[in-house]
């Protein structure tokens, strides 16, 4: 069973997904650096949330039109148009396989650490990262072939300067009932917002 088959099984019928994450960044000489944990949610076709809760708080919300980043320590929200940002994020491909094949070249990386690995390399002229590896397991750990019940357990992300970001996922919820405003960001009162929001930018999830 190839890693691609597992990705297809994982993404099949997936409109939205949420999970917990633990992320560690390793520098080019593999020295572990910053470790963060929190939750993520993705909803087809272009919305996602990345909420860091430890060791600090940071909210990243892509609402389909803009990417909002709220950092309470910096007492500031920055907002940018989403088109540039999310096109380069391997996260959103989970709920939009068509985008995966358009923007990335996928290649099998075989089995290691009990997972079956798929590598995504960006097709962009100046890619923002070297590659992203997805490590899939069967939901039922005992099984060799997953029979459709697949879990994305790890993501490994190599950037252009040789740093490696290791993300471990937990507690996947498939098509969870997400609150309507889950992907809407409202700046907290009194906090500076940097960057412009295109007025009247209504958000209509384009359910094709």
* Interface residues toward other proteins, by CB under 8 A: 25, 27, 33-34, 50, 55-56, 58, 60, 62, 67, 69, 71, 73-76, 78, 80, 85-86, 88-89, 126, 128-129, 157, 159-161, 163, 165, 194-196
What residues contact residue 122 under an 8 Å CB cut-off, 6+ apart? Answer: 88, 103, 104, 128, 129, 131
Task: Retrieve residue 145's tokens.
Answer: 């072939």
Q: Residue 62 Cβ, how far from other proteins at the closest point, in Å?
A: 8
Nearer to other proteins, 55 or 190 (CB): 55
Nearer to other proteins, 87 or 139 (CB): 87
Nearer to other proteins, 30 or 73 (CB): 73
Nearer to other proteins, 100 or 138 (CB): 100
Nearer to other proteins, 33 or 110 (CB): 33
Q: What angle do CA 185, 25, 167 make, to 5 degrees?
A: 65
Q: Residue 197 Cβ, how far from other proteins at the closest point, in Å?
A: 11
Q: How far apart are CA 90 and CA 93, in angstroms?
A: 6
What residues contact residue 98 under an 8 Å CB cut-off, 6+ apart? Answer: none
Q: Residue 202 Cβ, how far from other proteins at the closest point, in Å?
A: 21
Q: Residue 24 Cβ, how far from other proteins at the closest point, in Å?
A: 12
Cβ of 78: how many Cβ atoms within 10 Å? 14
Nearest residue to 134 (alpha-carbon basis) of 119, 151, 150? 119
Number of H helices, E strands in the chain: 3, 12
Q: In this structure, are residues 190 and 68 in contact, taking their beta carbons and an 8 Å threshold? A: no
Nearer to other proteins, 1 or 166 (CB): 166
Q: Residue 154 Cβ, how far from other proteins at the closest point, in Å?
A: 15
Q: Residue 196 Cβ, how far from other proteins at the closest point, in Å?
A: 6
CA dihedral 115→154→160→60, nearest 10 degrees, is 160
Q: How far apart are CA 67 and CA 168, in angstroms?
A: 23
């Amino acid at each position: 069973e190839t890693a691609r088959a597992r990705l297809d099984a994982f993404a099949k019928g997936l409109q939205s997904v949420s999970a917990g994450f633990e992320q560690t960044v390793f520098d080019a000489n593999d020295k572990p650096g910053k470790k963060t944990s929190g939750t993520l949610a993705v909803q087809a076709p272009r919305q996602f949330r990345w909420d860091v809760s430890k060791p600090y708080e940071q909210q990243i919300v892509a609402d389909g039109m803009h990417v909002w980043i709220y950092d309470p320590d910096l007492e500031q929200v920055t907002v940018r148009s989403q088109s540039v940002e999310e096109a380069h994020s391997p996260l959103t491909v989970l709920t939009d396989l068509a985008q995966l094949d358009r923007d990335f070249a996928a290649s099998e990386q075989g089995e290691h650490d009990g997972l079956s690995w798929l590598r995504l390399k960006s097709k962009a002229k100046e890619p923002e990262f070297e590659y992203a590896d997805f490590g899939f397991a069967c939901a039922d750990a005992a099984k060799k072939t997953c029979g459709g019940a697949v879990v994305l357990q790890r993501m490994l992300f190599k950037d252009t300067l040789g740093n490696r970001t290791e993300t471990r996922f937990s507690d996947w919820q498939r098509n969870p009932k997400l609150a309507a405003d889950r992907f809407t960001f409202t700046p907290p009162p009194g906090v500076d917002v940097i960057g412009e929001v295109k007025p009247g930018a209504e958000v209509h999830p384009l359910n094709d």
